[in-house]
A and B are shown apart, each in its own frame.
Chain A
């Protein structure tokens, strides 16, 4: 069949279109485009069906596993597909690895090395640490080590890749906040909180980290290992009460860290991270409710807290 490729402005993207087998899949089309254009590897291509102009709906994205025939409405010998370049892509695993590597490496630098001399604190060559500062180091490094392990062994991503620009944006966020917090917790003039508060903070944080890990395992099991993505209704454990229990446990885990270490920098990070995750949670909740609307034999998404009971 003949596939006509247009850009979003309507211009023909590949002159003369492409000729494919009648039984070809979308993945075959992606390969053909890549072969023709060299620059646009499959993960960079966003292929959609043309929408009538002025339509406010989001266009349907072609699923790489489906055969092209499924998208032909009527005329089985030709198909028009809209192409958009998503820009250079990196795999999510690469993105996550680098954004988490920063905090993992930068924090210990502030703990072990006499960096405070460069901030004007002369004579601090051998920093003497309060116990809470040492536990904070272990807690922090364990957290980011856990995240990296989950990235490679647990998470199943809904999209394989992310735009390259996100590497710079996300690394700036994690690395800057990592250094900002590390600076204060490991400061030579750091004032520790009481012993009980420290124990409560780290204890609560650890419990939440374990709960968070279990949430990630549950989410992983919702998807098949073939990378097909897709969305299911999460259930079990805290997911019965909260849609995004994984974010909830992550937020509370940081709260535990802050209760134990008590820095304004840490709390600022907590507030910013919470607002970012809340945005994600609202979008996810909306998506799940739309997908599971109770029609056509699909289950209806149950009423649950979105992210932070009893507030949202």
Chain B
């Protein structure tokens, strides 16, 4: 009985990981194609559909962690997925004015390369039971460059969309209301920028620790 569940789990996770891999592959492909054929202003429009799908699918990963399907702790995936969803839906999808900014290109390419490596790594492990050591190396090394480029793009895009956030009043809730609640998107965005200040070095240090553990463990095996 237990082995049938294990097989089901591996099948589901293989399908999940390879499907999302294809999504991010499309994002990278379309981004590079658009850059070559027209310019960075059109990158968002070209990648929008696969980007929204692939990034939103990541919500399932929180579920996987919660029900114990995968071992990753919810505490480290939550801030990562949170910032991704905030950028994808809260900034890019909500404020079209920012879509033509050049940082969209660097953002999308940084994310896509990272995710292509990550999802194919897990896809390999679930489907075939192993992943070659160069794959492991890629997974735990590309972040050294892609974290800074990705985080810079995220922070930059949030910062440059501030005027649009303020002017549009989108998602703002004003007083008076029955629940005596208010939400100001502009100040929330500034607060989010503030969180990046301690948050980024924390995440980077965490990944450095993960890298040390993963690469030394593979040396021992």
Contacts and interface: CB of A to CB of B under 8 A. Distances in A.
A260 to B, nearest CB: 12
Nearest to A184: B180
Contact of A262 (B175, B176, B178, B182): B178
B176 A263 contact: no
Contacts of A190: 175-176, 180
Contact of B179 (A185, A189, A262): A262
B51 to A, nearest CB: 32
A185 B177 CA distance: 12
B181 interface: yes
Nearest to B182: A184
Contacts of B175: 187, 189-191
A14 to B, nearest CB: 33
Contacts of B179: 262-264
Interface in A187-205: 187, 189-191
A200 to B, nearest CB: 17
Interface range on chain B: under 10, 10 to 19, 20 to 34, or 35 or more? under 10
A129 to B, nearest CB: 14
Contact of B177 (A191, A261, A265): A191
Contacts of B182: 184
A27 to B, nearest CB: 40
Contacts of B181: 184, 263-265
Contacts of A265: 180-181
Nearest to B176: A189
A83 B180 CA distance: 52
A197 to B, nearest CB: 12
Interface in B180-215: 180-182
A53 to B, nearest CB: 20
A265 B181 CA distance: 7
A187 B174 CA distance: 12
Contacts of B178: 191, 262
Interface range on chain A: under 10, 10 to 19, 20 to 34, or 35 or more? 10 to 19
A263 B173 CA distance: 14
Interface string B151-186: 000000000000000000000000111111110000
A16 B176 CA distance: 71
Contacts of A264: 179-181
Contacts of A184: 180-182
A91 B178 CA distance: 43
Interface in A23-78: none
Interface in A139-168: none
A190 B176 CA distance: 6
A156 B177 CA distance: 44
Nearest to A121: B175
A266 to B, nearest CB: 8
Interface string A262-295: 1111000000000000000000000000000000
A162 to B, nearest CB: 23
Name the residue in B175, B178, B179, B180 with the highest tally of chain A Cβ atoms < 10 Å from its Cβ: B180
Nearest to A264: B181
A263 B180 CA distance: 5
A227 B181 CA distance: 45
A272 to B, nearest CB: 16
A223 to B, nearest CB: 36
Contacts of B180: 184-185, 187, 190-191, 261-265
B179 to A, nearest CB: 5
A191 B178 CA distance: 6
Nearest to B177: A191
A211 B182 CA distance: 34
Given A189-B175, A191-B180, A262-B180, 7 more contacts: A184-B180, A187-B180, A189-B176, A190-B176, A262-B178, A264-B181, A265-B181
11 contacts: A184-B181, A185-B180, A187-B175, A189-B175, A189-B176, A190-B175, A191-B175, A191-B176, A191-B177, A261-B180, A263-B181
